[in-house]
Chain A
Amino acid sequence: MRILLQTLFLLMTTAAFAQQGNDSSRTSLDEVVVTATRTPRSMGNVAIPVAVISSKTLYQSGSLRLNDILAEQTGIQVIDNFGKGIQVQGLSSEYTLILIDGEPLIGRTAGVLDLSKVTVKNIRKIEIVKGPSSSLYGSEAMGGVINIITDRAGQNKTDLGLRYGRFNTVDGNLNFSRRFNKTDIAASLNYNQSKGYSLKPNAVQKTVEPFRRSTQNLSIHQQLGEHWKAGASFRANSSHIDNTIFVQNLGSTIASKGFEKNQENNFTPYLQFNREQKIKSTLRGYLTGFNAVQELAVKNATGGYDDRFKQLFARVENQTDWQMTANAAFTAGAGIVRETVRSNRYDSASTLRMNTIAYFFTQHEQKISAKLTMIGGLRFDANQAYASVWSPKIALQYKAAEKLKLNLSYGRGFKAPDFRQLYLNFTNLAAGAYSVFGSEVAVGEIKRLSAAQLLDQTTALVGSLSALKPEVSGGLNAGLVYTMNASSQFTANIFRNDLKNMIVTDVIAFKKNGGQIYSYFNLNRALTQGIELGAQQKIGQWIQLNAGYQFLYAADKEVLQSIKNGEVFQRSLTNGQAYRMSLSDYGGLPNRSRHSANLKFNAENTKGYFSTIRLIYRSRWGTSDLDGNGLINRSDEYAKGNLQVNTSMGFPVNTHWKFMAGVDNLFNYKDIQFLPGNPGRTAYIDIQFIF
């Protein structure tokens, strides 16, 4: 209640502060998006759920890294586990594809792509497509696709930004964009650092260690005659994180010191043929490398930890768009990917693991009548290391009335088994001497252990070890967009994703020393379903109000069946006795909040004075099992729901200088155990100089 009152007060001061307004962080249906169909289309005309974050919203929200801004979007959760990953439509980070200018980012740890390595300071806009898009993008595009579109080249502008915030957070940025005759250039530099923080007072080990990151971008585009264009983009991204780890072992403390280093380099050359409104064909190359090193040395002792992971992804692709008639557009594409990994997480850093993928995709868009448009797509991925996949998609849009659009789409998504699931060869000597073997190496390792007389017994599952299949999903989205008038709009979307062949680890054998041996299997089935609502409303001259809500239900289908069969039990918190679990006791998949909502006020006048207040709510979410059934069911197995309030304000000093300041997490919400990535209240100031 107190928070609400204080928020209202803030809002009133905001309103008083901004006298005359103009349109600000409002998304227009005319906005052109490229991610939904891989062709430029106005947002109101694509039949699948799309959201756009503008550079203005990014600036006014004071976001630095990609996770900052995505955490404020409806239906998206940022989950802090092996880095800041996202959850879209209840699907976790490994099922979401992140693109930069249409090319996939690599370098996942345990399936999670850490979004904090992506700066948003050189971004023109972010497009978010929800539901499966594997028909266009292939693997990982199950829950959604996030496409980060960087600054346009050839804009003749240069700006310099500097920001300082709590925990010695420094972010420096230089963006440069220029046109020289027929050559367009864009370049950017970003440096980001923090000294980290400790959530527990007097802790020897910091919750977040000091880090520094830098990103460099360069893109060049050259017009070659009337129809031809060529260009290339380079991106280099690196991060360095200090590691000081203390392990408590019965009173004695073992300290190890070291670092974690990540380096990522991308190179994207292209050649494009474009005959206005008729045919466009692009040949693109994409070469990206990710190199991660972690080294830890134990103080006053030998040994330590050394982890090396090197991934290379190379792709050549052609995409041709053909505008057949005014009512029909056809797209076709094909490509080859070669992916290699070297890591000492597998057998040795010198062994090269590789996979080759060849694929093609087509899409046809047909305007059937003045009111009805249909888009059909199909993609085929043939793989060397695992089974091939077909990914179809169909989407319909019906303009029921001038103000009302109805959208319906169904698509299949997939995620290829990753190198870890195929080739991991890991034995933990410290904790129970357990081992995890990838599906491709498990049989060989079992034979080796058996020959060495180290094996006690195998389980029935050892017989079903086979080549892993991709995880697949079917996703249905049904929604509407209702535009009441120029100042209010309402959207709704119902979604359901059915996942099968989900890859899980299970025990295949026991070692004589008691250690368990795990491998990977296509076993589980799950579902996520829910509803997403959004509203935009302009209040008076200067205030824009955006509200969003998502209801989510995500469950393991095997568990649902076992509960129905009466085979699942839970332990009472009061008397410790076990009793049978009912469907309503089951909290579903961990890390999912049933309710999430946001409310954003944005005020801006014609002189560019602005102020924002953003309220982000998330209901409780399951963390880990405590009563031995492996499921989320008891009230103590949840993290507390919370409301976080972020605010910012700023103004242009003159034509060259822009100033802004903000406070994130205004009411200092903290959860040491379940939100270690949340440092509490954080204030910052930000200055921009425009040349």
Chain B
Amino acid sequence: MRSSWIIGSAMLALVVFQACEKNEAPVAVPTLTEKTVSGIPADTIVGLVNGQPVGAGKFTFFSFESNAVVPSTDSNSVKWDVGVRGTAIITNGGNSGPGVGGAFVYVGTFDDLKAVPKDSVFRQDNAPVSYAVPNASSKGWYVYNPVSMLITPIPGRVLVFKTAKGKYAKVEIINYYKGGITPSATATDAEKLKNQRYYTFRFAYQADGTMNFK
């Protein structure tokens, strides 16, 4: 009885205190945005060269801050944070762009990662030798099945990004195929090729420059 009275008064005091604060300063704008994006093309297949499927060879650039695709004419700017071409993912940093970006792969769920750990090391792109997000089956974000020839994002892999401007974002890639639907293992090769290289992912972007995702 007594303890609940204490808690009750404490809560009341808190409300009053916050209310006073509200009167003095404007409401803080929430700085964390969380979105799911789909249908981001990543150098989709345009034809065959020597029997090997190829795209146009261009990256698609994306900005977490504006939640939009950035035209490739801005590739040499800090307007973009991440670029995708096939399974390759680049960051705006290292030898990929003029920004201060980097990334690493966190093992755990998207919701597990409530803040970027203090001792995190952001890897940088050193194309074409290595990328901040390793581009190989089972090494980074995806696994390739040589029998079904399908790419599947590994569950429990969160890509943690430092953006071009030095802010933080986390990304969970959900699917690699058009409409967010992986073709069945028995689908034709043509169908698998036609529908691949379309990213569906969800991200959280912290605009206040802190490492928190709360």
A contacts, CB < 8 Å to B: 248-251, 431-432, 434, 507, 510, 514, 516, 567-571, 576-580, 624-630, 673
Contact = CB atoms under 8 A, between A and B. Distances in A.
Q: Which has the most chain A C-beta neighbours within 10 Å: B147, B152, B186?
A: B152
A431 B146 contact: yes
A569 B156 contact: yes
B155 A628 contact: yes
Nearest to A247: B189
B172 interface: yes
B51 A249 contact: yes
22 contacts: A248-B188, A248-B189, A249-B189, A250-B48, A250-B193, A431-B146, A432-B144, A507-B138, A516-B137, A569-B155, A570-B155, A571-B153, A571-B174, A576-B200, A577-B110, A577-B174, A578-B109, A578-B156, A579-B109, A624-B147, A625-B145, A628-B152
A431 B145 CA distance: 10
B190 A627 contact: no
Contact of A578 (B172, B186, B200): B172
Given A569-B108, A579-B109, A628-B143, 5 more contacts: A434-B146, A578-B156, A580-B109, A628-B153, A628-B154
A673 B186 contact: yes
Given A250-B53, A578-B109, A626 B152 contact: yes
Nearest to A630: B143
Interface string B147-181: 11100111111000000000000001011000010
B49 to A, nearest CB: 12
Contacts of A434: 146
CB-based closest 3 A-B pairs:
A569-B156, A578-B155, A628-B152
Contacts of B186: 673
Nearest to B194: A250
A81 to B, nearest CB: 12
Contacts of B153: 571, 628
Nearest to B53: A250
A629 B146 contact: no
A251 B190 contact: yes
Contacts of A624: 145, 147-148, 185
Contacts of A249: 51, 189
Interface string B29-44: 0000000000000000
Given A248-B188, A248-B189, A434-B146, A576 B174 contact: yes
B75 interface: no
A148 to B, nearest CB: 33
Contacts of B154: 569, 628-629
B175 to A, nearest CB: 6
Nearest to B186: A673
B204 to A, nearest CB: 13
A568 B143 CA distance: 15
Nearest to A627: B155
B195 interface: no
B129 to A, nearest CB: 9
B16 interface: no
A617 to B, nearest CB: 26
Nearest to A673: B186
A252 B77 CA distance: 43
A249 B138 CA distance: 26
A248 B189 CA distance: 7
Nearest to A578: B155
A577 B190 contact: no
A138 B212 CA distance: 60
A514 B153 CA distance: 19
Nearest to A569: B156
Contact of A250 (B110, B156, B190): B190
B142 interface: yes
Q: Which has the most chain B C-beta neighbours within 10 Å: A576, A577, A627?
A: A576
A567 B107 CA distance: 8
A303 to B, nearest CB: 13
Interface in B95-153: 107-110, 136-138, 142-149, 152-153
A628 B148 CA distance: 13
B135 to A, nearest CB: 9
Contact of B172 (A248, A567, A577, A673): A577
A576 B175 contact: yes
Q: Which has the most chain B C-beta neighbours within 10 Å: A248, A570, A628, A630?
A: A628
Nearest to B174: A576
B182 interface: yes
Contacts of A579: 109, 155
Given A432-B146, A626-B182, A571 B155 contact: yes
Contact of B142 (A568, A576, A628): A628
A580 B182 contact: no
B136 A569 contact: no
Interface string B193-214: 1000000101000000000000
A568 B109 CA distance: 10
Contacts of A432: 144, 146
Contact of B110 (A248, A514, A578, A630): A578
A629 B157 CA distance: 10
A68 B138 CA distance: 40
A181 B169 CA distance: 92
A349 to B, nearest CB: 26
B189 A250 contact: yes
A569 B136 CA distance: 19
A302 to B, nearest CB: 15
A248 B107 contact: no
A673 B185 CA distance: 10
A624 B146 CA distance: 12
Contacts of B185: 624, 626
Nearest to A568: B156
A630 B110 CA distance: 20
A14 B147 CA distance: 47
Contacts of A628: 142-143, 152-155
Contacts of B107: 567
